[in-house]
Amino acid sequence: MRRMYKNAQGKRLPGVTTVIGQNLGWNKQQLMAWANREGQDGRYHYDSSQKAADIGTIAHAMVEADLKGGKWEDLVDLRDVDEDMIAQAEKAYSAWEEWKSLVDFKLLESEIPLISEEYQVGGTIDIAVIQNKNAILDIKTSNGVYEDHKIQLAAYGKLWNENYPDQQIEAFYLLRLGKNQGEFAYYYWPELDNAWEAFKCLRQLHDLKSKLK
C-alpha cells in the first residue's frame, strides 16, 4: 500500500523510497543485467519484480500482524495473489519467528508514518525497537543487502530523531528474511553518516529534476 505524506501546510511530500528509487542511478547497470537475464529465461522483468514485491508486502504484513495483532490478510490487497506467493511469504515469516526467538527486544513502534518538516520528506519505518540502544530495524526480503538499503535506514533514523528528539536512534539494524528457504541474515551499523549524506544529495536532486523540465 502506497502512503501519502503531507507537510504541516498540506503539501504532498515524496517518500523516502521514492526519493531513493527515482534518483539513485549507480545501480542501473545491475538492474539492466537482471532484466536481461529475465528476458533470456523467457520472463517479463516487470512481472518478476512485481511478484517479488508482492511477496515482500505479504511477508511484511505477516510481521506487522504478529507485532500488532490482527490478521495479515486484512493488511494487503489479495487480488492476483496465488498460493505460491503466500507460501514464499510464509517462509520469510518463519525466518522472522526464528530471529525473534533469538533476540530480546522491546518494541517502540512499528509501521509508523513520519514526516520531516526540515527535509520535506515522509517515510514509514518498519520497526523502532530498544535492543540495548534505541534502534531502527528494517526488514527486507531481497536476495542481498545493497547501498540503497543503508541510505533508506539512515533517512528513517533522521525522521525518527526529528519527531522523537528525546529518544534518539543509536543503532541501525537490517533483517533480511529469505523467502526461498526461510533463512535470515542480520546486519548492524552503529552509524550511517555517509548514507545520510547520500540521501541529502538525492533529496536535492529530486527537487532539481522538476526545475529542469
User: In which band, very low, low, confident or very high, does the pLDDT at 56 lie, cut at 50, 70 and 90?
Assistant: confident
Average pLDDT for residues 23-39, to the nearest whole number? Answer: 57
pLDDT of residue 164: 96
Question: Percent of the chain having pLDDT more than 70?
Answer: 85
Confidence bin at 48 (pLDDT 50/70/90) = very low
Asked whether residue 203 carries a pLDDT value surpassing 90, the answer given is: yes
CB 85 within 8 A of CB 58: yes
pLDDT exceeds 60 at position 167: yes
pLDDT of residue 43 exceeding 90, the answer is no
Cα–Cα distance measured from residue 168 to residue 80, given in angstroms and rounded to the nearest whole number: 41
- Residues 150-159 have pLDDT tens digits of 999 999 999 9
- pLDDT higher than threshold 70 for residue 205: yes
For 97, phi then psi, to 5°, come to -60, -40
Q: Are strands 184-189 and 5-6 parallel, antiparallel or unpaired?
A: unpaired
Q: Is the pLDDT of residue 79 over 60?
A: yes
pLDDT of residue 42: 56
Report the pLDDT value the prediction gives residue 28, as an integer from 0 to 100: 58
Distance CA 137, CA 125 (A): 8
Selected residue with higher pLDDT from 52 and 82: 82
Correct CATH for 13-211 of 3.40.1350.10, 2.40.50.140, 3.40.50.300, 3.30.70.260: 3.40.1350.10
Segment among 3-7, 187-191, 209-213 with least mean pLDDT: 209-213
Q: Which three cell numbers stand for residue 199?
A: 540521501
pLDDT at 161: 97
Q: Find, among 124, 96, 88, the residue nearest to 15 by Cα.
A: 124
H helices of the chain, where?
16-23, 28-40, 45-68, 83-102, 147-163, 193-211
Please give the pLDDT value at position 55: 86
What pLDDT band is residue 135 in, cutting at 50, 70 and 90? very high
Nearest to 146 by CA among 201, 112, 187, 180: 187
pLDDT of residue 30 exceeding 50: yes
